[in-house]
Amino acid sequence: MADSTVDPAEVDPLDRSSLVAFVNCFVADTCAFLATFAAECEDRYGRGRITSLVDFKAHTKHRLEEHAVRMQRMEAGIAMLENKLSN
């Protein structure tokens, strides 16, 4: 998990509607990310820009590295949410 500068013990718990909105946003963002990533991989592989499995793996690794920071932010948000839910 990523380190956070916010002390979860000092943060007020979320109300139910905020919690539902947060979870819905997380699910929607995750689905959009996966759909975009898959479509881009299919597009590049299908159009010949990626002509071998080695090229496909290199492209996939590059795209995953680009999204690593976004995934870490999402993990930090989930950790804070889990902490609020356990209080």
User: CB within 8 A of 83, min separation 6: which ones?
Assistant: 8
pTM of the full predicted structure? 0.44
- Local confidence pLDDT in tens for the 87 residues of the chain: 455 577 878 878 778 888 888 888 888 988 888 888 878 777 766 665 666 667 667 767 777 777 777 778 888 888 888 888 777
User: CB within 8 A of 37, min separation 6: which ones?
Assistant: 63, 67
User: CB within 8 A of 6, min separation 6: which ones?
Assistant: 80
Q: What is the DSSP string of 16-28?
A: HHHHHHHHHHHHH
* pLDDT computed for residue 2 by the predictor: 54
The residue written with tokens 């597009």 in the block is 43
User: CB within 8 A of 16, min separation 6: which ones?
Assistant: none
